[in-house]
């Protein structure tokens, strides 16, 4: 691996100096820590993705395989996987479906609960996760800092931030499913699945569909397209208020689907899962949105009373544009339709 050349000036130290020079001394240390963590996350994610790429695994799929491999019998109830990975059940289900399709895990009936299912590791899954773990141990985990985090003070700040104060335990806990707002939209698009998938991954489609909200890209993907691990920063105005949201695109599985999630922005968390299924008349596009706002009980109330319906309308508006562009590209004879929820 080529090591990055050291910079003549520590950019974080310079940013902190500028913060202090502008009189923002109360926020300078926090700015340094937050920026360090965000840069560390980007760098480490890139290293992990590069290491797992030869195994055709995302980190989410790797985590599930590793969790099952650690269990005594190589199998766990789906509910236990949700609890231990601390992610939403929708995300776990989608990840499991991909692993089942790849022959790395299987679903089994629960021996004591007819309503539940077990996820069980296959021999191929165990062999793959062991090889992937060896690669991660050698290339990332054994030395997470020296190659990824330069200059040196980025590493110190990141480590300092990794130890939250005891008083933050409740505030920073992972949200439970009851904290989350969720909705699912399905639409029939009269175009081949490959066409719909390609249009959905076009950054320009998002800009065109959200033009009336003054949405712009202030940070575009490096090569202008949404590839695995691509990040983008959006700026828009909703409810008359300017918002800025940074997201990452991942788990790209052509032409079956992909995901994007917020990595910085106004939500406590935001996940959008895109699934494309073949249909005799074209493609079924399914959008699953799972999100929650900060501010605890007040945020949950806002999510359910205001934001969920508002977000639903936004996604429906986007999907109208997406369907029109995909059907035009495919030369479809008539418009698709939104399917009942």
Summarised one tens digit per residue, pLDDT across range 8-28 is: 667 777 888 888 888 888 888
Between residues 324 and 221, the one the model is more confident about? 324
> pLDDT tens digit string along 46-95?
888 899 999 999 989 999 999 999 988 899 998 888 888 877 788 888 89
**What pLDDT digit, counting tens, does each position of 234-278 carry?**
998 887 788 899 999 998 999 999 999 998 888 989 999 999 999
Residue 169 has pLDDT above 60, yes or no: no
- How confident is residue 177, by pLDDT bands cut at 50, 70 and 90? low
Strand (E) or helix (H) holding 194:
helix 193-200
CA angle 227, 233, 234 (to 5 degrees): 115
Query: What are the tokens at 332?
Result: 């479809």
Q: Which whole number is the average pLDDT over 114-143?
A: 90
Dist CA 156 CA 16 (whole Å): 14
Q: What is the rounded end-to-end Cα distance, in angstroms, of the chain?
A: 49
Whether 147 has a pLDDT exceeding 60, the answer reads no
Domains and CATH numbers, the chain: 7-163 (1.10.10.10), 179-339 (3.30.530.20)
217 — pLDDT class (breaks 50, 70, 90): confident
Res 127: pLDDT: 95
Cα separation, 269 vs 291, whole angstroms: 5
Give the global pTM.
Answer: 0.55
pLDDT, residue 155, reads: 40
Q: Using 50, 70 and 90 to split pLDDT, how confident is the model at 179?
A: confident
Q: What is the mean pLDDT of residues 115-138?
A: 92
Confidence of residue 336 (pLDDT cuts 50, 70, 90): low
DSSP-assigned beta bridge partners for residue 276: 285
At 173, the pLDDT band (50, 70, 90 cuts) reads very low
Q: So what's the pLDDT on residue 311? A: 92
pLDDT at res. 334: 56
Predicted confidence (pLDDT) at residue 5 exceeds the cutoff of 80: no
Mean pLDDT of 18-40: 80
- Check residue 170 and give its pLDDT: 35
Q: What pLDDT does 6 receive?
A: 57
HSE-up of residue 200 (Cα within 13 Å, Cβ side): 31
Mean pLDDT value across residues 295-314: 83
Query: 7 or 252: which carries more pLDDT confidence?
Result: 252
Report d(CA 195, CA 335) in Å as an integer.
Answer: 15
Phi, psi of 104 (to 5 degrees): -95, -25
Check whether the bond before 255 is cis (ω within 30° of 0).
yes
Q: Would you put residue 41 in left (φ > 0), alpha (ψ -120 to 50) or beta?
A: alpha
Condensed to tens digits (0 to 9), the pLDDT of residues 149-167 reads 444 444 444 443 333 333 3
In the prediction, which pLDDT does 78 show? 86
């Amino acid at each position: 691996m080529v090591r990055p050349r050291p910079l003549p000036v520590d950019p974080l130290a310079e940013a902190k100096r500028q913060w202090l020079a502008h009189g923002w001394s109360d926020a300078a240390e926090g700015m340094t820590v937050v920026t360090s963590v965000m840069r560390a996350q980007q760098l480490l994610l890139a290293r992990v993705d590069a290491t797992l790429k030869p195994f055709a695994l995302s980190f989410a799929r790797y985590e599930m395989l590793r969790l099952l491999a650690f269990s005594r019998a190589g199998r766990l109830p789906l509910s236990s996987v949700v609890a231990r990975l601390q992610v939403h059940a929708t995300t776990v289900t989608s990840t499991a479906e991909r692993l089942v399709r790849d022959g790395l895990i299987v679903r089994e009936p629960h021996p004591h609960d007819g309503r539940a299912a077990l996820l069980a590791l296959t021999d191929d899954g165990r062999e793959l996760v062991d090889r992937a773990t060896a690669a991660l141990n050698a290339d990332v985990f054994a030395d997470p800092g020296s190659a990824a985090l330069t200059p040196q003070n980025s590493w110190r700040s990141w480590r300092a931030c990794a130890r939250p104060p005891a008083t933050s335990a409740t505030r920073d806990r992972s949200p439970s499913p009851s904290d989350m707002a969720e909705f699912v939209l399905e639409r029939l698009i009269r175009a081949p699945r490959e066409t719909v998938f390609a249009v959905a991954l076009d950054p320009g489609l998002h800009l065109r569909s959200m033009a009336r909200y003054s949405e712009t890209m202030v940070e575009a993907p490096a090569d202008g397209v949404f590839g695995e691990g691509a990040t983008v920063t959006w700026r828009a105005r909703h409810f008359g208020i300017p918002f800025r949201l940074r997201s990452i695109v991942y788990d790209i599985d052509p032409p079956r689907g992909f995901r994007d999630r917020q990595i910085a922005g106004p939500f406590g968390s935001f996940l959008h899962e895109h699934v494309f299924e073949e249909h005799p008349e074209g493609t079924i596009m399914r959008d699953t949105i799972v999100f929650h706002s900060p501010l605890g009980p007040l945020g949950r109330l806002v999510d359910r009373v205001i934001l969920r319906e508002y977000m639903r309308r936004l996604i429906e508006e986007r999907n109208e544009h997406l369907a029109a562009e995909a059907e035009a590209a495919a030369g479809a004879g008539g418009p698709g339709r939104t399917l009942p929820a």
